[in-house]
Structure formats: C-alpha cells, structure tokens
Amino acid sequence: MFRQLPATIEDYRKLARRRLPRFLYDYYAGGAGRERTLAANADDWDAVKLRQRVLVDVEKIDTATTLAGEDFAMPLALAPIGLGGMAARRGERQALHSAEAAEVPFTLSTVGICGIDELTENASRPFWFQLYMIRDRGVVEAVIDQAWAAGCRTLVFTVDLPMPGPRHRDRRNGMAVPGLRPKLLKIGQVMMRLGWVWDVPVRGRPMSLGSMNPYVRAASDPDSFRKWIDTQFDPTVTWADIEWLREKWQGRLILKGILDGADAERAVEIGADGIVVSNHGGRQLDGVASTATKLPEIVRVVDQRAEVLVDGGIRGGIDVYRALALGANGVLIGRAWVWALAGGGRTGLDQLLAGIRDELRLAMALTGVTRIEDIGPDCLDRD
C-alpha cells in the first residue's frame, strides 16, 4: 500500500518517529518539564495574524536577504542540533549539503556527530559554528581556533544552558541512566529499528562527537555522549566570559538564548553582532514565555544595533513571515530539519527547504510585498 507523500514538517515528524529508535526520537522531540513552553513555541505563532492585500503587482518576488554579513536565498538558517548526525547517516554533512543547495546557512553544533574538519572538507562555503562554554577554557580556545582556521566566520554562542533542563522523556527511555534495565530498554528500542541501525551506526561510522572527539573519553554510545554533555556545561559562566569570548573571536558573534530585554541590552553593549531570541526549543525552563511573544520586546530594545534572529516552533514559510513582520531579521529551524532528514533523507530536507521558501513567497504575494525588507508591522492585522 502506498503512503501519502510528505508535504509539511508534521508529515516528516511522523516519518521520523517510525524510523528512529524511541529514545533518539524523544531526545530530539522532547522539552523540559510538562512541555508547556515547547507547545507554546509553536502555538503562539498562530496568534500573529497577517494583513491580506490585493491588486498589487507581485510578479517579481525576491526572498533574498543578508544574515551575518552574508547573502542568502531566504532569511532562514539551520540551527545547531546536538547529536544531529544520528538522525541520518553522517547527518550534519547531509544537512550542510542541503543548506548549501538551498543557499541558507548551516550551523554545526559543538556536540554534533560530524566535526569541523569533516564539514570543511565537504563544504563549498563557510558554515556557522555553535559553541557551548565548556568547563575547560583551554578546550574552548582550541575549538574556536580550529573553527576559525576552517573558515568559519560566524560563531553562535549558546547562553541558556548553565545546566540541562529536566527532560522526562529522556529519563523514561533510560538516556544517561545507569543500570541494566535502562540499557536493555534502549537495546529493545534499537532492535525495533534495524534499518536505522544499518544506515546510521553501521554505515555511518564513526559515531563520536566529531569536534569534541579529542577531548571526550570513551564516547562510543548515546549514553556516554549525553553523560559527557551534561557534565561539561559550566554553571559559572557570566557576562565576563562573553567579554572574554568577544575579545577572542575575530568574526561575527551571535548569542543564542536571549529571552529578556535587559539581557538583550547587555548583549549589544558587550559587542554581540546578533542575538537569537530562544528558550532552547522549550528544553530548558518549562514555564517561560514563547519566543513569538518575547520577540517584539527584544526587537524594540535592540533597535537595529544588532541582528535579531528567532527560533522555536517555526513550522513553515508563513511562520518565517510572521517573525519578520514582528521585527526579526531571520529565523532558525532545528527539529524541522532533523525530522525532514530522518524521515526523508537528503531529498526530504531539500524538499522541506524548498517548500518553506515557496510558502514564504506565497505569503509575500498575498500580503502585497515583493522584498524581504518590506515585511514589517504594517503587514500584520492588528484588529
């Protein structure tokens, strides 16, 4: 029996759920606590209503824009995803190629399966690199020096993870939980996804934290990955560390995880070139506001002194449009690219990105704008 063809992010999510082991699917999908913020991130974009306009010449629509000083085909970047390379064989490499084909930025996570060197060998243009502040500052220096030498000129520093949030799905699935029972639980889940086993861990070897591989002891399975990640986040990080990083990094610095106007002001004062309005996809503190509701305040505070990006719950081109109308310069998508890659491979991600651009173009046509820079508050229905 033939299945329907995937058309939306939700379609790809359902495919990914059938193909990934349960613990890995839940690792990507889950949020903190009762996952209220996770749900609000997506739902609150729906409250942003667009202003439909008619009888405007929209034959020539241009979705091109500039992000972090580079020209791209649309105002969207692929967000960093920890362990993203486990969604498909050498997943970050495939995502990089798809991003390049779509002419949008790809951001490699500090804890990606593919490392800086592997992506550099396969890249046709510089990618962005995301950094956590590891406890050992010598490791931080070594990694950002490696990123710079590889041609990365945009560093995305995640500021909202002094310690990992309570992710109940991971505990239920035995992720990073010691003992025989959790181990058997994960083995059982893996045995139900033998196609994934053959394609990803077997044909996609080596399974290690690429950029961190020289610094990680015995990282040979998801449990050890997760344990290392959780123990390396530094709860002592302050704005002084960001000042140190700003002095160290010669390129563009984007701070990811800003959700408060006062923090946005401080980020600009320190010299950040951009910020990402983010609550870590609802994976950290359940109960904080959605990014859609916080975006207007932060746009006002920043007042064009830095680029403002936003992530969290973006499900298509209309949500991209909504974010731009609220003042963002662009958006990041995380789970969306993982679902497309896991559910449909490189072809699936290519189609998803093309679909987002087509939907953005249609939203522009039906609201009477032809250029990205023309999307603003006047494009919203305030009634």
Amino acid at 83: L
- Return the structure tokens found at 44: 């609150």
Q: In the prediction, which pLDDT does 225 show?
A: 63
Residue numbers of the chain with a pLDDT score lower than 50: 1
CATH superfamily of 9-369: Aldolase class I (3.20.20.70)
Which is the catalytic residue, given 22, 93, 280, 357?
Answer: 280
pTM for the predicted model, two decimal places: 0.94
Judge whether 97 counts as a catalytic residue.
no
Q: In the prediction, which pLDDT does 76 show?
A: 98
Q: In the prediction, which pLDDT does 212 show?
A: 79
Q: In the prediction, which pLDDT does 223 show?
A: 62
Q: How far is CA 137 from CA 132, 142, 162, 245, 250, in A?
A: 11, 9, 15, 10, 17
Q: What confidence tens digit (pLDDT) does each residue in 40-94 have?
A: 999 999 999 999 999 999 999 999 999 999 999 999 999 999 999 999 999 999 9
- Domain residue spans in the chain? 9-369
Q: In the prediction, which pLDDT does 187 show?
A: 84
Q: In the prediction, which pLDDT does 262 show?
A: 98
Q: In the prediction, which pLDDT does 4 show?
A: 82
Task: Measure the CA–CA gap between 333 and 357, rounded to whole angstroms.
Answer: 13
3-state secondary structure the chain: CCCCCCCCHHHHHHHHHHHCCHHHHHHHHCCCCCCHHHHHHHHHHHHCCECCCCCCCCCCCECCEEECCEEECCCEEECCCCCHHHCCCCHHHHHHHHHHHHCCCEEECCCCCCCHHHHHHHCCCCCEEEECCECCHHHHHHHHHHHHHCCCCEEEEECCCCCCCCCHHHHHCCCCCCCHHHHHHHHHHHHCCHHHHHHHHHCCCCCCCCCCHHHCCCCCCHHHHHHHHHHHECCCCCHHHHHHHHHHCCCEEEEEEECCHHHHHHHHHHCCCEEEECCHHHCCCCCCCCHHHHHHHHHHHHCCCCEEEECCCCCCHHHHHHHHHCCCCEEEECHHHHHHHHHHHHHHHHHHHHHHHHHHHHHHHHHCCCEHHHCCHHHECCC
